[in-house]
């Protein structure tokens, strides 16, 4: 066994004591640590899943053409992305699965460098280490120096801090990467959720011109449509990269179940439930933002995504303990990189009742 030392400690294991303290609160825990949806999955998804439940045969790795075209149509309709069709899309079993396996499935290894943001979803690094790659946390191409990465991750709106990257920044990264033959991977799972800025897909022509060469984007129905339990996601962009992933994944058997594919096709064709869910999150965000600021917290970034990036001017682990004493569990900022040491990430993906309870306790 060679697992020891290959990966960082699993972050959630490190706040088990704080969770126990929060659970001891007389009114119960308010868990704002994990970005997991709590509202019902849309009825149209449940109906589509049930209608496709009789699925005795194996699904295909490629997935139904109608699903892949629905994904292309969705990006055109909602985000102005042009030039996509079904051949640009590959369904995945959630986005974390793809991120964790992407470097290995692209054939990267010890000679390859994978770059991800200094504050980032930990699976970017875990997937690179799983493939044996070199890793670098960097927020600018200048910090990379003369090295040429094989893969460069972007995330906007970002987890954990909610920063939204502007079109000029994205355009410069794409050009820099194309000049070096670096694949850009844009995690856009929070693109539907923006509060004080306007996010843009890296596949938009204002960013990448009339070509998607050297670019792929990751999208998920987990947050957009409250389907985290379904494991519904897709990768889209450079057709050559999509084809390469398809061929590898056929050998490995990464197949999205047919009923799950039917559910994703249904939600990608509907915007009404997304708009309604966004307003629910907007209300919860406003309640927590006000309560935190009144309690002396400073909120930075948080222009998008489903989190508030907050600090009390102290080590984030101390803030985790302070909140746990009030029955509120949050994620320490150092989960996401050393620069997050003095912050905590607070998800507003809890029920209205639990959000109200947290606000009351903060008061």
Alpha helices, DSSP H, located in 164-271: 167-180, 205-208, 221-224, 239-252, 258-268
CATH class of 11-40+273-362: alpha beta
Q: Taking residues 170-197, what's their average pLDDT?
A: 98
Q: How many CB atoms lie within 10 A of CB 111?
A: 9
Q: How many CB atoms lie within 10 A of CB 54?
A: 8
Model pLDDT for residues 79-108, shown as the tens digit of each residue: 999 999 999 999 999 999 999 999 999 999
Q: Where are the domains of the chain?
A: 11-40+273-362, 56-269
Residue 182 sits at φ, ψ, to 5 deg, of -90, 135
Q: Which helix (H) or strand (E) holds 75?
A: helix 65-79
Q: 316: closest CA among 107, 119, 146, 53?
A: 119
Q: Would you say 318 and 304 are in contact if contact means Cβ atoms under 8 Å apart?
A: no
Q: Beta 331-332 vs 233-237: how paired, if at all?
A: unpaired
What CATH number does the domain located at 56-269 have? 3.40.640.10
Model pLDDT for residues 207-257, shown as the tens digit of each residue: 999 999 999 999 999 999 999 999 999 999 999 999 999 999 999 999 999
> How far are the Cα atoms of 87, 214, 271 from residue 83, in angstroms, in the given order?
11, 15, 21
User: In whole angstroms, what is the distance from residue 362 CA to residue 353 CA?
Assistant: 14
Q: Model's pTM, two decimal places?
A: 0.94
Q: 97: closest CA among 267, 232, 265?
A: 232
Provide the mean pLDDT of the chain.
Answer: 96
How many degrees, rounded to 5, is the angle at CA 269 between CA 78 and CA 102? 75
- Give residues with Cβ within 8 angstroms of 274, minimum separation 6: 192, 224, 225
pLDDT at 264 over 90: yes
């Amino acid at each position: 066994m060679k697992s020891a030392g290959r990966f960082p400690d699993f972050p959630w294991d490190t706040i088990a004591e704080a969770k126990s303290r929060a659970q001891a609160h007389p009114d119960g825990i308010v868990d704002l640590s994990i970005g997991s949806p709590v509202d019902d999955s849309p009825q149209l998804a449940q109906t589509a899943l049930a209608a496709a439940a009789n699925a005795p045969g194996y699904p295909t790795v490629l997935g139904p053409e109608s699903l892949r075209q629905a994904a292309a149509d969705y990006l055109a309709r909602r985000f102005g992305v042009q030039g996509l069709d079904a051949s640009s899309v590959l369904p995945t079993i959630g986005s974390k699965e793809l991120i964790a396996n992407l470097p290995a499935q692209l054939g990267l290894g010890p000679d390859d460098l994978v770059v991800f943001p200094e504050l980032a979803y930990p699976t970017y690094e875990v997937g690179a280490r799983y493939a044996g790659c070199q890793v670098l946390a960097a927020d600018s191409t200048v910090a990379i120096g003369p090295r040429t990465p094989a893969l460069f991750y972007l995330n906007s709106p970002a987890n954990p801090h909610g920063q939204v990257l502007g079109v000029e920044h994205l355009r410069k990264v794409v050009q820099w990467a194309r000049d070096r033959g670096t694949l850009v991977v844009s995690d856009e799972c929070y693109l539907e959720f923006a509060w004080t800025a306007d996010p843009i897909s890296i596949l938009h022509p204002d960013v990448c011109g009339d070509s998607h060469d050297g670019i792929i984007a990751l999208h998920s129905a987990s947050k957009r449509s409250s389907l985290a339990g379904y494991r519904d996601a897709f990768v889209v962009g450079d057709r050559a990269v999509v084809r390469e992933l398809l061929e590898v994944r056929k050998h490995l058997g990464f197949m999205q179940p047919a009923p799950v594919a039917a559910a994703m096709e249904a939600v990608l064709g509907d915007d009404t439930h997304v708009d309604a869910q966004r307003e629910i999150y907007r209300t919860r965000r406003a309640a927590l933002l006000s309560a935190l600021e009144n309690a002396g917290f400073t909120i930075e970034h948080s222009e998008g995504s489903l989190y508030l990036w907050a600090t009390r001017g102290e080590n984030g682990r101390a803030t985790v303990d302070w909140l746990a004493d009030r029955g509120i569990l949050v994620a320490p900022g150092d989960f996401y990189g050393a620069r997050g040491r003095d912050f905590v990430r607070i998800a507003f993906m809890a029920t209205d009742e639990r959000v109200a309870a947290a606000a009351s306790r903060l008061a």
